[in-house]
Amino acid sequence: MQLTERHKEYWRRNMRMTAILLAIWFVVTYVVGFYARELNELVIFGFPFGFYMGAQGSLIIYVIMIFFYAIRMNKLDKEYDVAEGEG
């Protein structure tokens, strides 16, 4: 079937959101990981920051990101009329 302009726009917006979230994922994982030694100089409540990011911080961000993506995409489906029927 032929895709309409709206369909293409839906996909573009999906791609944009995917790219942004992927960038956050990259920074949280690899940039923070790369500078773990330097970030460890910063100590909060007894936690060296680089260590805490690896052990807990990054995980919390991953969970939030996935739920955020699910909620936004499920909304986007409705907005562009590509949501699954209620059946």
Partner 1 sequence: MATQTQAQFAQSLKKYYSIYAGGFIAFVILLAIAEQMGLTPKYIGYAFLFATIGLYAIIGIMSRTADVAEYYVAGRRVPAFFNGMATGADWMSAASFIGMAGGLYIQGYDGLAFIMGWTGGYVLVALFLAPYLRKFGQFTIPDFLGARYGGHTARSIGVFAAVLCSFTYVVAQIYGVGIITSRFTGIPFNIGVFVGLGGILVCSMLGGMRAVTWTQVAQYVILIIAYLLPVVWLSVQITHFPIPQLSYGYALEKVTEREKEITNNPKEIEVRNILKAKATDAEAKLKDPTAAYAADKATLEKKLADLKAANVAPDQIAATEKALAAFPKDVDAAKAQWTKEKGLAARAVPPRPHAEAFVGKDDAARNTSRLNFLALVFCLMVGTAALPHILMRYYTTPSVKEARQSVGWSLFFIFLLYFTAPSLAVLVKFDVYSHLVGSSFADLPRWVASWAAVDPTLVSIKDLNGDGIVQLAEIVLGQDIIVLATPEIAGLPYVVSGLVAAGGLAAALSTADGLLLTIANALSHDVYYKMIDPHASTKRRLTIAKMLLLLVAAIAATVAAQKPADILFLVSAAFSFAAASFFPALVLGIFWKRASSWGAVLGMAAGLGITFYYMATTQPWLRGLFGVTGSIADNTWFGISPISAGIFGVPLGFAVIIIVSLLTPAPDKKTQELIEHVRYPQLRGDIDTRAT
Contact residues: partner 1, CB under 8 A: 1, 3, 7, 10-11, 14, 18, 21-22, 25, 28-30, 33-34, 36-37, 40, 44-48, 50-52, 54-56, 58-60, 62-63, 65-67, 69-70, 73-74, 77, 82-87
| Sequence-separated (6 or more) residues with CB below 8 Å from residue 43 | 49
User: Smallest distance, Å, CB 72 to partner 1?
Assistant: 10
Q: Minimum distance between the CB of residue 77 and partner 1, rounded to whole angstroms?
A: 5
Taking the least distance from each CB to partner 1, the nearer of 5 and 46 is 46
